[in-house]
Amino acid sequence: MDIADKVPNETDRLEEQLLKNLRTTVERVLPIPHYQESYREIGITQAEDIKSIKDFQRLPLTTKEDLRKNYPFGLFAEPMENIVRLHASSGTTGKPTVVGYTRQDINLWAKIVANELERAGVTKKDVVQIAYGYGLFTGGMGLHYGCEELGAIVVPISGGNTARQLMLMRDFGTTVLACTPSYALYLAESLEESGISRDELKLKIGIFGAEPWTEGMREEIEARLGIKAFDIYGLSEIMGPGVALECPAHRGLHIDEHFYPEILDEEGNPLPNGERGELVITSIEKEGFPVLRYRTKDLTTLHYGPCSCGHFGWTMERVSARVDDMLIIRGVNVFPSQVEEAILLEGFEPHYLLVVYRVGNLDQLEVQVEVNETTFFDEVRELEGRQDKLKKRIEDVLGISVRIRLVEPKSIPRSEGKAIRVIDKRNKEG
């Protein structure tokens, strides 16, 4: 985590600037009882008590649970009259987490997203079709305001209604598509059946995020839609989409300077650059809902320094998995993205479902994969050969035995937002 690792000459100046920024956030959250109490316990009563990055790293982490405990507005740092917008997470497992933005926060967010889109090659001449959900979810509006800031032509179509998405994509001459990667794939698949040919479309850039996806999935989407796909990262608790956007040189996702990232191990200890762990973020300059050392539950790796694309600062690797997505099967950690990678490498389509169930006391993992014209063979022996190869590849990666089930095309439900990759039947069966 030490900036000194990479740029010794500038270390002092950069570290001083970073500390100053972090202190500003500490100062902003200190009046909030939740932070005040926990900071007092470790002897921090004022921002000046943070004298080094090490001091900063002593500050307790903020979790989603903390946000829930302080539902709805308990962690806001501004009086409600200064808040101009609320967003909330879906809250599938309990109360939603609510975030508030001041006017300046909204402007800042728009500027961050606009800068990033510009770096990805989006210009004011582009027609951006935003197929992220609009509403309490930050995806739609986050991209929307960023595109407007940039001056691009926004098509706020939101998610769903695939046939209409494709029609307008053609008729409006959409050049940029923003949605989840799984929905992009579904749109590509639907395109093949819609009677609209790819040549009629002007698509060139895709801004995809809000769920973990693999490099193989990117290649698949890029090939099918004939575009350049960029991974956008963000979460509502930090700001929304735009915390980081993939570099045009594909050297990871560059984190915007308004966020300070750390990588921690499972016990919460800081890990050095290049090591994989949980991403923790502190916002800088955010007013309404500043967060300090927020645990994102996303697993990634950090790097610091200059990039060939011109960016200087923090870069995170593509989020390959979320802590929450991790399945523990027979004591082994399993991430859906590992299975996705194997499926793509074996030439199957990236439509899959992991079904976990229990036989007796033993966990079983069934991987359902769709068969298509290229993976189907008339001879059962060949088909089983393909199946066995996939089985072996997945088992090599996961270290546990799996059962492969080939299913018919389109039998695995498609998603217009975040894809469902796992059905865990173990809890229901007790």
Partner 1 sequence: MLQLSIFLENAKGRLAEVISLLADFKVNLRALSLADTKDYGVLRIIVDNPEETALKLRERRVVVSLTPVWVLKVPDRTGGLAEVLNQLVQQDVVVEYMYAFVEKENEQALVVLRVQDKAIMEKAMKTLNLPSK
Provide, rounded to whole angstroms, the least separation between the CB of residue 405 and partner 1: 5
Which of 266, 324, 378, 429 binds partner 1 (CB under 8 A)? It is 378
373 belongs to the binding site for partner 1 (CB under 8 A): yes
Residues 360, 380, 429, 430: which binds partner 1 (CB under 8 A)?
380
Residues listed for the chain = 430
Q: Residues 24, 376, 385, 399: which binds partner 1 (CB under 8 A)?
A: 376
**Considering only 84-92, 239-247, 293-301, 367-375, which stretch makes contact with partner 1 by CB under 8 A?**
367-375
Pick the stretch among 35-43, 84-92, 374-382, 392-400 that binds partner 1 (CB under 8 A): 374-382
| Size of site (CB under 8 A) for partner 1 | 18
CB nearer partner 1, residue 267 or residue 379: 379
For position 163 contacting partner 1 by CB under 8 A, the verdict is no
Work out which of 7, 61, 383, 420 binds partner 1, going by CB under 8 A: 383
Which one, 20 or 410, has the nearer CB to partner 1? 410
347 lines the binding site for partner 1 (CB under 8 A): no
- Residue number with CB closer to partner 1 (82 or 368): 368
Closest to partner 1 by CB, 65 vs 388, is: 388
Pick one of 48, 84, 377, 385: the residue that binds partner 1 (CB under 8 A). Answer: 377
Residues 385-424 that bind partner 1 (CB under 8 A): 405-411
| Identity of the residue, 239 or 371, whose beta carbon is nearer to partner 1 in the bound complex | 371
- Compute the least distance from the CB of residue 190 to partner 1, in Å: 12
Pick the closer one to partner 1 by CB: 33 or 376: 376
CB of 388 to partner 1, least distance (A): 12
Given the complex with partner 1, which of 82 and 372 has the nearer CB atom? 372
Candidate list 81, 266, 379, 429; residue touching partner 1; CB under 8 A: 379
- CB-nearer residue toward partner 1: 328 or 376: 376
Do residues 321 and 212 lie in contact, with contact meaning Cβ atoms separated by under 8 Å? yes
> In whole angstroms, how close is the CB of 410 to partner 1 at the nearest point?
5
SS (H, E, C) the chain: CCHHHCCCCCHHHHHHHHHHHHHHHHHHHCCCHHHHHHHHHCCCCCHHHCCCHHHHCCCCCECHHHHHHCCCCCCCCCCHHHEEEEEECCCCCCCCCEEEEEHHHHHHHHHHHHHHHHHCCCCCCCEEEECCCCCCCHHHHHHHHHHHHHCCEEECCCCCCHHHHHHHHHHCCCCEEEECHHHHHHHHHHHHHHCCCHHHCCCCEEEEECCCCCHHHHHHHHHHHCCEEEEEEEECCCCEEEEEEECCCCCCEEECCCEEEEEECCCCCECCCCCEEEEEEEECCCCCCCCCCEEEEEEEEEEEEECCCCCEEEEECCCCEEHHHCEEECCEEECHHHHHHHHHHCCCCCCEEEEEEEECCEEEEEEEEECCCCCCCCCHHHHHHHHHHHHHHHHHHHCCCCEEEEECCCCCCCCCCCCCCEEECHHHHC
3-state helix/strand/coil string of 60-116: CCECHHHHHHCCCCCCCCCCHHHEEEEEECCCCCCCCCEEEEEHHHHHHHHHHHHHH
314 neighbors 302 (Cβ within 8 angstroms): yes
| Minimum CB distance to partner 1 smaller for 114 or for 404 | 404
Range in contact with partner 1 (rule: CB under 8 A) among 64-72, 236-244, 348-356, 372-380: 372-380
Per-residue x/- marks for partner 1, 259-298, CB under 8 A?
----------------------------------------
Summarize as ranges the residues that interact with partner 1 (CB under 8 A): 371-373, 376-381, 383-384, 405-411
